[in-house]
Amino acid sequence: MSTGREIIFESLEHYTLFLALFPEQKYKARLASELLAPSEASLDKTMAPRLNFIKSLLTEKETKDAKKFLLTLEQLRLSLIVTHEQVDFCFSILHSTPKNNRLKELLHLYLDSPLKLDLAQSYWDSISLLKGQSTLSNIPTRTFVRAKSSTYLFTEWANAHEALQEEPCSPIEFWELPGGAQNLGQPNPPAKKASATQALSLLAQEIASQQSSEKPQWVAFGGSPHALLFLETKLKSLRVPFDSLFGSKEKTLTQGILIAPFQAPPLSPNHHCWGYLDESFFAAKEEGLLTEAELFTLVTAGFSIPRIKTDRLYLKNMLKEFQKPGRGELFISNQVPAQEFSQIEELATLSHRPSPPPKLALPPKKIRLSATQLDSYAACPAQYLVRHRLKLRPIQSLEEKFALVFGTAVHSSLEGYFKAPFNDLTTLFKDALESLHPEIQKERSIYFLMLRQFQEVARHFLVLEEQLKSDFHFKDNLSLEKSFETEISGYFFSGKIDRIIERQDGSLLLIDYKTGRVDFSPRDISNGHGSQALLYLLSVTAQGGPPCVGVLFYDLKAQELRRGLFRDDMIPKELKKELTRGHALSPEKFLELIELGKSHLISKSQSIEQGQFSATPNSQECSRCEAVTFCRQGLGYV
């Protein structure tokens, strides 16, 4: 590296990596935020106190997005919005939506609060000071290194040094930092492409084989958290010592291997750099509240705000630089777009071949099944294995269990209301919530968020009850939270029906309350899903008694009674028009669907009892399944 000048980094990620790769240059590396706002002069420099202050300005409903609000406001500040007039001008360009009006109000409050003494203000004060000087004074010569989402004020601050030093001051990229060798002579090998597990396994083996080399090694890693865990486990099995910059701030490349966020390195003959990428590398990471279209509108109006498109272009340029001679050796998973690489070598043509998909099987076991278990198995047998057979579930915070806790409390409060209609719904909900989770304290934001959400439900509930009487000819509640057990072809199923009502003609209607999104369709049953509605019907019809018109999904979130599974000969024609299309079937199609659903139930039950749990990964389920941590096929490792 060159000597005699300070190197100023806009991002902590670049600064930390530079110190790890070039510890001998530590004396000249500076982080812009610390240079502008030393700890003794800054106010609320860290995220936590700033976030707490923002929360104090937000409503109860908004606090769940507090971090997004803070990031958006500070993003606008770093795009040179430093006065109230600039705030008004900025938001006059955007549509007057509730979100944008709220952002405008908060930005005015921000400028009148101690938060104004932030990084943006430090940049602006320093720019004014630099432009007022005519000599170098005590400011050293500096090189400026921009971040991925480089801000307007950082660029302006760097350019303000132009008159005070002989060399250009426009910010450069991290990989443009001067190194010890401008041309290392050898072309980079082609990117090695394979399944994630094969690419990571071979990468770990290559690293292990180079341990005797005097060159320090580091891995520029652009993969998912699961892939990182796999690589670390593989290195441990090969007894390769390593350090990681993921979640750590100060590491030096003195011994072992360094794993760092993906970055094209400065050209240097002193390091051996490896790279790994999977499909998560180009995934959009929109953190603020402004959409890409709104950011484009502001950029067009003259506000230099980083956009998702800008970030993606930076990643593509960084990847292009990595593939130049002397940068490093790259391994990629099959899911990464091939057109992003100049040369690719398919690892499947090498002697190292991927192993076959694992066949997950356990000893046969007789078990009573629920609709949740059956639908989990239908989504992916490995998901069922982890969740319901092995019972491996991550420890969740109350916030992470929000939907489950909220739904359970709603069910309990509605049951209490029908047993004693003179009780206040909101009071019943509070009692149910505190009874189910005594740790909920009234001063906690999660408590008030749930309470506010339930008040919205309660506001529409009585209207929905009137609609239920009108549309479905409601006469009386026969059962609330009715547990059932039923046998079908030697397999046993259990569950609980939220509500069974008697209609004026004596027929039954089964009701299931939904506090989240209702995405049921009768065709789900024909595809082996939708087990809840199917088991409801089978359990009631197995007992004989009055005929059943069908199952209604009582949508408390959307405030509508339109979805379910119904016999169209048992409902008025005008009601059929109001229901979602395809949810009311002729008696023949209704019975045919039930029989097809039964065959799926029997088939799945047989596979579960026989212990057949091989994974059937798909993009929709794998992205939200905790079992993916244990599922090599779901991760694309095989």
Within 10 A of 548 (CB to CB), how many other CB atoms are there? 18
Q: Strands across the sheet with 272-277, in order? A: 242-244, 257-261, 217-222, 272-277, 329-333, 191-194, 344-346
φ, ψ of residue 3 in degrees (nearest 5): -120, 170
pLDDT bracket for residue 584 (50, 70, 90): very high
CA dist., res. 435 & res. 411, Å (int): 13
Q: What is the CA radius of gyration of the chain?
A: 31
Q: Report the alpha-carbon distance of residue 166 to residue 281 in Å, rounded.
A: 38
The helix (H) or strand (E) run that includes residue 499 is strand 491-503
Alpha helices by DSSP H, 325-397: 371-379, 381-384
Cα–Cα distances (Å) from 87 to 8, 35, 326, in that order, read: 30, 27, 47
Element (H, E) at 463: helix 445-472
pLDDT classification of 24: cutoffs 50, 70, 90: confident
pLDDT for 471 equals 92
Q: Is the pLDDT of residue 91 over 80?
A: yes
Between CA 368 and CA 346 the distance in angstroms is 47
- CB distance 235 to 207 below 8 Å: yes
Predicted local distance difference test score (pLDDT) of residue 325: 85
Query: For residue 89, what are the CA distances in angstroms to 95, 97, 104, 108?
Result: 12, 15, 10, 12
Torsional sign, CA 401, 406, 409, 410: negative
Q: What are phi and psi of 295, to 5 degrees?
A: -65, -40
Looking at residue 561, what is its pLDDT? 92
Give residue 399's pLDDT band: very low, low, confident or very high (50, 70, 90).
low
Residue 623 pLDDT exceeds 70: no
What's CA 369's distance to the chain center, in Å? Answer: 31
* Cα 575 from Cα 562, distance rounded (Å): 9
- Tokens found for residue 422: 């003179």
Tokens at 111, concatenated: 């400028």
CA–CA distance, 321 with 315 (Å, rounded to integer): 10
Q: Does pLDDT of 588 surpass 90?
A: yes
The Cα–Cα gap between 154 and 512 comes to 56
Q: What is the mean pLDDT of residues 221-225?
A: 90
Q: Model confidence over 234-250: pLDDT tens digits?
A: 999 999 998 888 865 45
The tally of CA atoms less than 13 A away on the side-chain side of residue 514 is 21
Tell me what the pLDDT averaged over the chain comes to. Answer: 84
- Domains of the chain listed by start with CATH number: 6-42+121-176 (no CATH), 47-116 (no CATH), 191-349 (3.40.50.300), 385-609 (3.90.320)
Q: Which residues pair with 344 in a beta bridge?
A: 191
- Segment (H or E) for 113: none
What are the φ and ψ backbone dihedral angles of 482, each rounded to 5 degrees? -85, 120
What is the full DSSP assignment across 287-330? -SSS-HHHHHHHHHTT-----HHHHHHHHHHHHHHHTSTTS-EE
CB 261 within 8 A of CB 276: no
Are 187 and 324 within 8 A, CB to CB? no
Angle 179-184-190 (CA atoms, 0-180°, nearest 5)? Answer: 115
Q: What is the pLDDT of residues 345-392, one digit of tens each?
A: 877 544 444 455 556 677 878 888 999 999 999 988 888 888 888 888
Rounded average pLDDT over 225-235: 89
H helix and E strand count, the chain: 22, 16
The answer to whether 127 and 78 are in contact (CB under 8 A) is no
The total number of residues shown for the chain amounts to 638
CA 68 – CA 64 distance, rounded (Å): 9
Residue in 276, 280, 253, 265 with CA at minimum distance from that of residue 202? 276
Tell me the C-alpha to C-alpha distance, in Å, between residue 354 and each of 200, 349, 543, 618: 11, 11, 53, 20
Q: pLDDT tens, 297-327? A: 888 887 788 777 788 888 899 999 999 888 8
- pTM exceeds cut of 0.85: no
DSSP 369: B
Answer whether residue 2 shows pLDDT above 50: no
**H/E element, 273:** strand 272-277
Strand locations in 504-572 (E): 508-514, 548-555, 560-567
What pLDDT was estimated at residue 9? 94
User: Strand 272-277 vs strand 508-514: parallel, antiparallel, or unpaired?
Assistant: unpaired
Q: Which token pair is 516? A: 């989240």
Q: Is the pLDDT of residue 629 over 70?
A: no
**CA distance linking residue 175 with residue 152, whole number of Å:** 20
**Amino acid, single-letter form, for residue 267:** L
Closest alpha carbon to 513 in 446, 570, 468: 468
Averaged pLDDT for residues 28-46: 68
Q: Is the pLDDT reported for residue 431 higher than 70?
A: yes
Q: Answer yes or no: are the C-beta atoms of 413 and 457 closer than 8 Å.
A: no
Sign of torsion, CA 297 303 308 310?
positive
